[in-house]
Amino acid sequence: MTIVTVSAAYGAGGALVGPKLAERLGVPFLDRALPAEVAQRLAMPLDEAAARDESIGGVLSRMATMLAPIGLAFGAETAPDAVDEEAYRRTTEDVIREHAATGDLVVLGRAAALVLHDDPRSLHVRLDGPRDRRIEQAVRLGDGESAEVEKRLDETDRAREAYVRHFYHADPRDPHLYHLTIDATAIPLDAVVEMIERAALSRTR
């Protein structure tokens, strides 16, 4: 049984490492298909599910989520956006756990290290690196010009951190959440894949 969760900061190469690792291990890769599966279960448009994926949504949605318990205490109805966010989180967890139940999986993002924290079969990996080197790597991988990439890095890191803090009250950069933390800007990404593969196979043995 091979289950690997990969958490990656923007520019750390998660979008390349995840599928390559799954291919090397010969197991399913769960990433882009996840919002589609969640959208189908919740009967919501795919673009809406994609907008909610690994983010809390807009300012109004965040406010509704935070204010919902206060309103409930005074007998108000549950804020619709708060219910939607919680339903999305629960359904995402259900999809991850159901795929993990097969015993073979590589999943990228979605706080999977926390969702599968109590699963002894799982290997949890974090890819990160200094901000300037992540920008350089993202540019090198074709994500855009430096200024564009820098803006996207800040927005993406902030959204992913907010997702984990909001739903799990944790910091995705916390090394205690992972078995293996790699500076993926200091090591070629092919070597990163090999390192994780060896670690995963050693655990299965």
Q: CATH no. for residue 24? A: 3.40.50.300
For the record, the structure tokens of 29 come out as: 């890769």
Q: For the chain, what is the domain count?
A: 1
Q: Give pLDDT tens digits for 82-116.
A: 447 788 788 888 888 988 998 889 999 889 999 99
Per-residue pLDDT of the chain (205 residues; tens, 9 = 90+): 789 999 999 999 999 999 999 999 999 898 766 666 666 666 666 666 666 665 444 433 443 344 344 333 333 343 444 447 788 788 888 888 988 998 889 999 889 999 999 999 899 999 999 999 999 999 999 988 999 999 999 988 888 888 888 889 999 999 999 999 999 999 999 999 999 999 999 876 6
Residues 122, 3: contact at Cβ < 8 Å? yes
Residues 13, 184: contact at Cβ < 8 Å? yes
Domain range spanning residue 68? 2-204
Q: Which long-range CB contacts under 8 A does 82-89 form with residues at least 24 apart?
A: 84/52, 85/52, 85/56, 85/57, 85/61, 87/42, 88/38, 88/42, 88/49, 88/52, 89/167
Query: Which residue reads 């290997």 in tokens?
Result: 123
